[in-house]
Amino acid sequence: MEKNVKRLEEIISCALISLGALMASFSVVCILIPNDAIDYGTAGIAIILSMLTKWNLSLCVAMVFLPFIIAGTVILGKKFGLKAALGSGVYTVGIAIFERIPFELNTEHFLAVVFGGAILGAGLSLILKNGGCIDGSEIFANIVVKKITDKTGKNFSMSYLLIGFNACVYAAVFVLINRNAALMSLLVYVVATSIINHFTDHFEAIKQVTIITKDPDQLVKDIKAQLNKTCTIMNSYGAIAGENKTLICYVNYFELPKMKEIIAKNKGTFSTVSTIDEIIK
């Protein structure tokens, strides 16, 4: 019974990732590009490449995305890689399909870009909420943060890496395309990320997982073995349950699904997740 429930959850998760990818590809092809704006991250790089070379956009997206998906699978795990491949594959197919569908949003550029950015943000939120990822910049930032964390033992936010990556993309748009496209694309970024942050509670920030349990030993071992993370353990007391142990662990957004799996395997736990703006050491 439990296996069937988990299988159904995975099917729903994959369906929502696919829906989100189709929403994102529709926004990019049918709304943003016709109104002198582009997506951000590696999708933006693919669009710039397509504009400069006149190559097919879906081909450019596949070429740019593939190395990041492979790197994400190798470093971040097979499950993450499969969901990233699903989202990226549907996004690429969606672009190929929508390129052949005549569609025109008959309104001002500014309104069209805001509307397109909102659809893009909603689609990407669906993908991120279900453990997927279609943008290589997020995979790149995640890999860098993981490597630094593994080496130093300190937790870092992905925010600055993502901002720096996208600043380079928009600088390229400004220089290689035109200033209007750069400004419109920046507006897309502001609108899309505002929606993503609302629905994912700032996915690029560090997450604090607090776990209350009577038997912390196996949890600590699993977290160390599967996430290479350590925990702070404190004595706590429940009004009904009596003496407990409270574990505090810091992970990034893409490590949360694995953390939830570990917690689910250890029965009799109560856990919460909160967003941390800064860790001071």
Q: Which of 27-41, 116-130, 143-157, 259-273 has the lowest mean pLDDT?
A: 143-157
Angle at 156 between CA 152 and CA 162, to 5 degrees: 130
Q: What is the 3-state secondary structure (H, E, C) of 168-231?
A: HHHHHHHHHCCHHHHHHHHHHHHHHHHHHHHHHCCCCCEEEEEEEECCCHHHHHHHHHHHCCCC
Q: What is the mean pLDDT of residues 93-99?
A: 93
Task: Give the pLDDT confidence of 252-270 residue by residue, as tens digits.
Answer: 888 888 898 899 888 888 8
pLDDT tops 90 at residue 200: no
Give the pLDDT confidence score for residue 109 in this predicted structure.
Answer: 80
Domain regions of the chain by residue span: 2-200, 206-276
Mean pLDDT computed over every residue of the chain:
87
Give the pLDDT confidence score for residue 64 in this predicted structure.
Answer: 93
In sequence order, the 6+-apart residues with CB closer than 8 A to the CB of 51 are 176, 177
Tokens of 144: 């860098």
Q: Which residue has the higher pLDDT, 22 or 111?
A: 22
Do 247 and 231 form a contact (C-beta atoms < 8 A)?
Answer: yes
pLDDT tops 80 at residue 279: no
Grade residue 26 by pLDDT with cuts at 50, 70 and 90.
Answer: very high
Task: Give the pLDDT confidence of 27-71 residue by residue, as tens digits.
Answer: 999 999 988 888 888 999 999 999 999 899 999 999 999 998 998
Q: What are residue 270's DSSP bridge partners?
A: 212
Give the pLDDT confidence score for residue 188 in this predicted structure.
Answer: 92
Grade residue 206 by pLDDT with cuts at 50, 70 and 90.
Answer: confident
Give the pLDDT confidence score for residue 246 in this predicted structure.
Answer: 92
pLDDT tops 90 at residue 97: yes
Q: Which residue has the higher pLDDT, 134 or 124?
A: 124
Q: Which residue has the higher pLDDT, 156 or 187?
A: 187
Give the pLDDT confidence score for residue 177 in this predicted structure.
Answer: 86
- Alpha-carbon distance of 15 to 6, in angstroms, equals 14
pLDDT tops 70 at residue 72: yes
pLDDT tops 80 at residue 1: no
CATH number, domain 206-276, options 3.40.50.2000, 3.30.1780.10, 3.30.70.120, 3.20.10.10: 3.30.70.120
